[in-house]
Structure 1
Amino acid sequence: MASLLSDIRTKYNLLSKTQKTIADYILDNPDATILLSITELANYCSTSETTVMRFLKKLDYDSYQIFRVNLAKELIDSPSETINEEIAEGDSTSDIKRKVIKHTNTAVSDLEYSINQKDIDQCAEMILNARRVTFFGIGASSAVAIDALHKFGKIGLNVNGFQDSHLMNIHCSHMTSEDVLFVVSHTGESVEVLNAASLAKENGAKIISLTSFSNSSLAKKSDVFLSSSTNDKKYHSEAMASRIVQLVIVDILYLSVFMQNEAKFYKALNQSRIAVSLNKT
């Protein structure tokens, strides 16, 4: 069962600007929150009680009192869950190191609750049964797509990928129902990935998306959506923790596929290692 705080973090990207203010206050001050009335919490966040209740609805709570009781219980049961501190002006390198490590560890731990096992199983089956799997991402997301291409290619699957959007569109225009397009995009709104997904879908290919926004255009085009949502902090570069989460999801999916036929894929992996060793002295 997902913890309350992890639920806030993984749903963070679905919140409005005002709701994110409430989420930030609770995540940064969980101990103080359990002592506040709904009116006091609204005042601290410069908003209304109605907005606080809309925020709670996103977390599937109909009662502020029940929310507060569950939060208090969570703080007693799992004190290490709190707090993910924001990097502040004047922080030493040691402070920055500690805060970044804590935030990243928390984001990865939240995957235990945010990724549905059925979705992983479905993705693994789609990859195993595909004639060919193509990986695609633009900008920082291309690094995650290349990592996936590298891992699945090493075990002998028929995979490819492009960083050039023109080549990607050409390739997707010739996909078939036997193909899978694996698309990585933090926002799920990059024009290049949406164009590629649309072309692939028109030709009957299956779409797996790895993105941080479940309500994004890319997620809606996908047969399976894998969520990499985190509440990246103010001073983090775009999707810093989300990128790490995406790499972990790729690893989970890779190993899920690998263990479906361990003997076969281990043999292929060794062949790849021998081939790569030719380039080493």
Structure 2
Amino acid sequence: MNDPRTVAAQVRMRLPTLTPLEAKVAEHILAQKDIDASMSLRDVAVGSGVSDAMVVKVAKKLGFAGFREFRQGLMDYYRSDTAGLYSEISPQDTAGQIIQKVFRTSMQALEETFAILDLEAFERAADYLHRAKQRDFYGVGGSAQIARDVAHKFLRIGLRVSVFDDAHMMMMSAALLGPEDVAVVFSHSGKTTAVLEPLELARKNGARTIAVTNYDDSPTARIADLVLCSTAQNSPLLGENATARIAQLNILDALFVATAQRDRKAAEANMERTMRAVASKRKP
């Protein structure tokens, strides 16, 4: 983990893979924003109410060689500009403070998502979408809104996308996909059964599959051919999903541009045509 911005993100992404007790230990350590070299393994164990061995086990499950590497990673992270962007919203905050905190929290999510994004997977995803005969997007709730936003952008450059947010329709769509097609699943948790089942069916039928999620070890991520991960810090009031959606929208905006560049001439020509088609809908 050479980039300090990735440390907290990697911890948050792996929290769902831990047991409740392990997650409690990880969250306790992550909350130590004043952590320094004087904080010992024993201090953390006592503070978490567990054994020294449990702290070391958690550090290793989170991808570190041991407690010392975990401690150093957090020290580097909390010294970074990215860590300083986040602040809890309090009942006493003014309108200006609320705006600043909401914006800065979104900026943090963007910084950390950029740091962890798998560029190879991103490139392959653009290739899949450019070459596909059929592109079907699956999502429910807020994730469906992201899917619709992306589908709108692709239509502007002449790449047709079908968006499904109904469990039955998703299964019917997946049943008809084949090796020349792509299924993209949007799921913040990566555990939504409504999209997991069509994802499995689409892949079984030979379609390329892409997951857009906040957790790279979620059931959705384990099934998909490619995973594009966002990350966001949880907030008692904002929640995690709202901020993560900002990061996911930016990932997909970049993916739209990368896909368009596969045939920029055609993309620009189609964009001109679609813009002319709606021009009459705007008042002069």
Q: Which amino acid is 1:240 matched to?
A: A
Cα offset for 1:55?
3.0
Structure 2 contact 106–246 (Cα < 8 Å) conserved:
yes
- Cα–Cα, structure 1 residues 69 and 176, in superposed 2: closer, same or farther, change >3 Å? closer
Q: Which amino acid is 1:87 matched to?
A: I
Cα offset for 1:135?
1.3
1:80-105 residue CA offsets vs partner (Å, 9 max, x unmatched):
53362223343333333232222211
Cα offset for 1:72?
4.1
Cα offset for 1:30?
2.7
Partner of 1:151: 153
CA distance in 2, matches of 1:179, 1:171: 11
Structure 1: gaps of 5 or more residues: none
Partner of 1:38: 41
Partner of 1:50: 53
1:94 aligns with 2:103: no
Partner of 1:211: 213
CA RMSD, 1 decimal:
2.4
1:107-156 residue CA offsets vs partner (Å, 9 max, x unmatched):
11012221111000110111111111111210110011001111111110
1:13 aligns with 2:1: no
Partner of 1:112: 114
Cα offset for 1:160?
1.6
CA distance in 1, matches of 2:262, 2:161: 18
Q: Which of 249, 252, 260 pairs up with 1:250? A: 252
Q: What pairs up with 1:62-81 in 2 under 5 angstroms?
A: 62-73=65-76, 78-79=80-81, 81=83
Number of residues of Structure 1 aligned to a counterpart in Structure 2: 280
Cα offset for 1:229?
3.0
- Cα–Cα, structure 1 residues 181 and 197, in superposed 2: closer, same or farther, change >3 Å? same
Cα offset for 1:205?
1.3
* TM-score for both structures, normalised by structure 2: 0.87
Secondary structure of the 1:42 match is helix
Cα offset for 1:25?
4.7
Q: Which of 236, 239, 249 pairs up with 1:237? A: 239
CA distance in 1, matches of 2:198, 2:255: 22
Structure 1 contact 10–230 (Cα < 8 Å) conserved:
no
* TM-score for both structures, normalised by structure 1: 0.88
CA distance in 2, matches of 1:237, 1:73: 25
CA distance in 2, matches of 1:207, 1:29: 39
CA distance in 2, matches of 1:213, 1:73: 23
Structure 2: gaps of 5 or more residues: none
Cα offset for 1:79?
4.4
Task: Tell me whether 200-209 or 19-28 shows the greater mean CA deviation.
Answer: 19-28
Task: Tell me whether 31-40 or 217-226 shows the greater mean CA deviation.
Answer: 31-40
Structure 2 contact 196–219 (Cα < 8 Å) conserved:
yes
CA distance in 2, matches of 1:44, 1:83: 26
Identity %: 26
Q: Which amino acid is 2:59 matched to?
A: L
Q: Which amino acid is 1:44 matched to?
A: G
Q: Which amino acid is 2:3 matched to?
A: S
Secondary structure of the 1:208 match is strand
